[in-house]
């Protein structure tokens, strides 16, 4: 269970620029959603992935998009975008419009994209874990070769379903990666106040499975490189893995949380570790990309988010009749 270190990546330039663009999309999309919430354009509760971009993109970038599966959590915007969901459909879903990815019925905490492999975000803490092992059991029984990446926050690790699903996945050697994205707070509760170990990944030994720790979850390459190793291990039929990455959410738990339990100094210190700025610096200093290429990505991302807002605002509301659709399976 040794801590990982960033190593020189063998990623292609195209892949690295693509992952940088996905991080930009997460940052720009959630920043736009935050403004729209304040303008009263978005109903319900909204949680943001700002600050956690590398932890999401690095992990999901290591699985096979359009083939493997993920389950998400209430802070799932970043995971959905990392899996390359259509931004227009996602923005429309968050606004509750009929053109949304779930026809406007799910909203921010229930984003799903079944065609893309996203089995859904979940407003219940730890709610995706049972879904993940069910999906993983299906892949094993049908011999599809697919694996499941189960994403959740540090707060979910004290839920009963965490222990139950890790135990069951271990017994059955299911192809699932349990991924704790540790932003150090369960709403306002520091993780250190509710566990008597240093980190949640250390619990893996209780279930006879490997535990991996990514100390710097804001280092895109550290996350990606470690996940490449883990994904191959699970895909080879070795059973489940528990992995934890330490990162930080810049904003409060949700739009209703001013985050007064954290000091400004703490937040500012973490903003100095901005995963997007750090990877941009890596691209430039290693002459992987030019400033002009990166600026083009930045402008393209802003334009795509702008388009998603226009699309959602101009989309129709769901009809009353649609309330009686999609509520059971034939």
Tracing tokens 């990877």 back to the chain, one arrives at 279
Give pLDDT tens digits for 37-57: 999 999 888 999 999 999 999
In the prediction, which pLDDT does 45 show? 84
Does residue 7 register a pLDDT over 70? no
Q: Give the side-chain half-sphere CA count within 13 A for 108.
A: 21
Contact 242, 209 (CB under 8 A): yes
177 CB-contact burial (10 Å; exposed 0-12 / middle 13-18 / buried 19+): buried
Does residue 31 register a pLDDT over 70? yes
Contact 134, 172 (CB under 8 A): no
Q: With bands split at pLDDT 50, 70 and 90, how would you rate the model's confidence at 8?
A: very low
Does residue 5 register a pLDDT over 60? no
Does residue 1 register a pLDDT over 60? no
Tracing tokens 């700025």 back to the chain, one arrives at 277
Give pLDDT tens digits for 87-134: 999 999 999 999 999 999 999 999 999 999 999 998 899 999 999 999
| 78-87 average pLDDT score | 97
Q: With bands split at pLDDT 50, 70 and 90, how would you rate the model's confidence at 317?
A: very high
Q: With bands split at pLDDT 50, 70 and 90, how would you rate the model's confidence at 329?
A: low
Does residue 206 register a pLDDT over 60? yes
- Check the CA dihedral 104-108-110-115 and report its sign: positive
Give the residue among 221, 204, 265 at the shortest CA–CA distance from 213: 204
Q: Hey, what domains does the chain have and what are their CATH numbers?
A: 15-31+49-59+68-209+217-304 (3.40.50.970)
Cα 267 to Cα 44, 124, 157, 179: the distances in Å are: 26, 27, 24, 24
E-strand spans in 22-131?
A: 69-71
Q: With bands split at pLDDT 50, 70 and 90, how would you rate the model's confidence at 66?
A: very high
- Per cent of the chain over pLDDT 70 is 97
**Which of 182-220 are b and which e, b meaning 16 or more Cβ less than 10 Å from the residue's Cβ?**
bbbbbeeeebeeeeeeebbbebbeebebbbbbbebbbbb
| 291-314 average pLDDT score | 98
Helix (H, G, I), strand (E, B) or coil at 190: strand
| 20-43 average pLDDT score | 96
Helix (H, G, I), strand (E, B) or coil at 211: strand
Contact 177, 240 (CB under 8 A): yes
Give pLDDT tens digits for 270-296: 999 999 999 999 999 999 999 999 999
Phi, psi for 113 (deg, rounded to 5)? -150, 80
When the pLDDT of each residue in the chain is averaged and rounded to a whole number, the result is 94
pTM of structure: 0.94
**Which of 310-329 are b and which e, b meaning 16 or more Cβ less than 10 Å from the residue's Cβ?**
ebbeebeebeeeeeeeeeee
Q: Which two tokens stand for residue 92?
A: 């429309």
Give pLDDT tens digits for 165-202: 999 999 999 999 999 999 999 999 999 999 999 999 99
Does residue 6 register a pLDDT over 80? no
The helices-and-strands tally (H runs, E runs) of the chain is: 10, 7
Contact 70, 63 (CB under 8 A): yes
In the prediction, which pLDDT does 330 show? 55
DSSP 76: -
Higher pLDDT, 151 or 6: 151
**Distance (Å, whole) CA 192 – CA 13:** 39
Q: Which two tokens stand for residue 324?
A: 């009686």
**Distance (Å, whole) CA 26 – CA 4:** 25
With both helix axes pointing from N to C terminus, report the angle between 291-314 and 87-94 in degrees, rounded to the nearest 10: 40
């Amino acid at each position: 269970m040794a801590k990982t270190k960033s190593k020189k990546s063998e990623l292609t330039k195209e892949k690295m620029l693509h992952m940088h663009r996905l991080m930009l999309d997460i940052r720009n999309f959630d920043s736009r959603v935050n403004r729209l919430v304040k303008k009263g354009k978005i109903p319900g509760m909204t949680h943001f992935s700002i600050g956690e971009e590398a932890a999401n993109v690095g992990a999901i970038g290591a699985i096979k998009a359009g083939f493997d599966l993920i389950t998400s959590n209430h802070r799932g915007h970043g995971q959905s975008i990392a899996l390359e969901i259509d931004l227009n459909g996602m923005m429309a879903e968050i606004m509750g419009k009929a053109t949304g990815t779930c026809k406007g019925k799910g909203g921010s905490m229930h984003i799903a994209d079944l065609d893309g492999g996203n089995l859904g975000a979940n407003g219940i803490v730890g709610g995706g874990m049972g879904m993940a092992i069910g999906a993983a059991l299906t892949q094993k029984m049908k011999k599809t070769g697919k694996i499941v990446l189960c994403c959740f926050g540090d707060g979910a690790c004290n839920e009963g379903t965490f222990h139950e699903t890790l135990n069951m996945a271990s017994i059955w050697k299911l192809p699932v990666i349990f991924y704790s994205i540790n932003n150090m707070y369960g709403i306002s509760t520091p993780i250190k106040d509710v566990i008597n170990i240093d980190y949640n990944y250390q619990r893996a030994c209780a279930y006879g499975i490997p535990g991996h720790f990514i100390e710097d979850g804001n280092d895109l390459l550290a996350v990606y490189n470690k996940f490449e190793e883990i994904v191959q291990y699970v895909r080879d039929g070795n059973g489940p893995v528990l992995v934890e990455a330490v990162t930080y959410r810049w904003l409060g738990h949700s739009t209703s949380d001013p985050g007064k339990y954290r000091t400004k100094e703490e937040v500012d210190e973490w903003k100095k570790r901005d995963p997007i700025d750090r990877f941009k610096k890596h691209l430039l200093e290693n002459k992987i990309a030019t400033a002009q290429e990166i600026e083009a990505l930045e402008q393209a991302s802003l334009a795509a988010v702008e388009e998603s807002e226009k699309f959602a605002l101009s989309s129709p509301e769901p009809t009353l009749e649609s309330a009686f659709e999609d509520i059971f399976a034939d």
